[in-house]
Amino acid sequence: MPRKLTEAQIEQYHRDGFLFPFDAFTPEQARHYRTRMESFEAAHGAFAKGHNFKPHLLFTWVDEIVHHPAVLDAVEDLIGPDIRLFHLTVWPKNAHDPAYVGWHQDATYFGLEPARHVTAWVALTDASIEAGCMEVIAGSHKLGQLHHAERVQEQHNLLSRGQTITAPFDKSRTAFMPVKAGQFSLHHTHLVHNSRPNLSNDRRIGLGISYIPTEVRCVSPTRLAGRLVRGTDRHGHFDDEPRPTVDFGDAERAYHAEAVKRFRQSNSEQTARYQTAV
Ligand SMILES: O=C(O)CCC(=O)C(=O)O
């Protein structure tokens, strides 16, 4: 018996590779989280400048979001009851900012096997079509891993390596995934997606939370940590991450810096492997 999704929605996810929108929290609660984020930015600089990777290790309010029962119930319906958080990226796009996200698949450079990873994109602001919400290609998760090239010279591409799919693929059937503040969408790790610049008058902010079932492993030589957010881990493919007890504390910052370093190292190992193999 599913916890949140209907059988028809689960079937739809397997057919199309994405689902939306679902309510996680109220718009007022989303505003509260946004205020926590923006107060931090006012004191320490934009999230995009170093805190957009793995902020669940730094901030108690992000830790709260990654454990939200509505999000975890939906994720459990797709990947089972033993769930680890593998990665988290915050995606802020300022009003009238040229920033965009190129066509890509999340699986690229993650090195996760098998490909059962699902991303919950949780909105702290409205993410309308005008504001540059995600755009997806229905059914493209069935294409498997496509080749990506790194285009670091494309300065407005928010992807850390500027990665973009180079293989030809059919863009005639794209769908937008607009969500409102407090809502979330779900997408498969092989789903082809992008997002366009934010043409609205407000910021667009979302948290892309990568969840995996505990049997999934990372094939990089670098051993990574992840947060067990629900259930039991009988596989031991990852070390456990501590939960933050204070926002931006010394211990939290030290752990975060090391975790981001290891994640980037693993990404580089995957780039090398991927460029010879794919
Ligand atoms: O926020 C965006 O525009 C892109 C997000 C994304 O690519 C993802 O969460 O996988």
What's the pLDDT score for residue 278? 44
Q: What average pLDDT does range 215-228 have in this prediction? A: 97
Q: Among 109, 191, 195, 205, which residue has the most ligand 1 atoms within 8 Å of its CB, making it the best to mutate?
A: 195
Whole-number percent of the chain with pLDDT over 90: 82
CA of 234 to the centre of ligand 1 (A): 30
Split at pLDDT 50, 70, 90, the class of 271 is confident
Report how far residue 246's alpha carbon sits from residue 242's, in angstroms, rounded to the nearest whole number. 12
Query: Is 1 a member of any domain?
Result: no
CA of 158 to the centre of ligand 1 (A): 9
Query: Is 2 a member of any domain?
Result: no
Instruction: Evaluate if residue 81 carries a pLDDT over 70.
Output: yes
Q: What pTM was estimated for this model as a whole?
A: 0.96
What's the pLDDT score for residue 151? 73
CA of 102 to the centre of ligand 1 (A): 9
Instruction: Evaluate if residue 213 carries a pLDDT over 60.
Output: yes
Pocket of ligand 1 contains residue 106 by CB under 6 Å: yes
Nearest partner of 196 among 114, 123, 271, 130, judged by Cα? 130
Q: For the segment 115-129, what is each residue's pLDDT rounded down to a tens digit?
A: 999 999 999 999 999
Instruction: Evaluate if residue 212 carries a pLDDT over 90.
Output: yes
Number of structural domains (the chain) is 1
Pocket of ligand 1 contains residue 206 by CB under 6 Å: yes
CA of 206 to the centre of ligand 1 (A): 8
| 160 vs 224, higher pLDDT | 224
Domain at 173, CATH number:
2.60.120.620
Query: Is 171 a member of any domain?
Result: yes
Split at pLDDT 50, 70, 90, the class of 155 is confident
Q: For the segment 27-48, what is each residue's pLDDT rounded down to a tens digit?
A: 999 999 999 999 999 999 988 7
Query: Is 170 a member of any domain?
Result: yes
> Cβ of 197: how many Cβ atoms within 10 Å?
17
Q: What average pLDDT does range 210-222 have in this prediction? A: 97
What's the pLDDT score for residue 153? 67
What's the pLDDT score for residue 277? 47
Count of residues in the chain: 278
Q: Among 54, 71, 110, 119, which residue has the most ligand 1 atoms within 8 Å of its CB, making it the best to mutate?
A: 119
Query: Is 229 a member of any domain?
Result: yes
CA of 194 to the centre of ligand 1 (A): 7
Instruction: Evaluate if residue 158 carries a pLDDT over 50.
Output: yes
**Residue 270 lies in domain:** 7-277
Pocket of ligand 1 contains residue 134 by CB under 6 Å: yes
| 271 vs 176, higher pLDDT | 176
Split at pLDDT 50, 70, 90, the class of 275 is low
Pocket of ligand 1 contains residue 270 by CB under 6 Å: no
Nearest partner of 195 among 166, 170, 180, 175, judged by Cα? 175
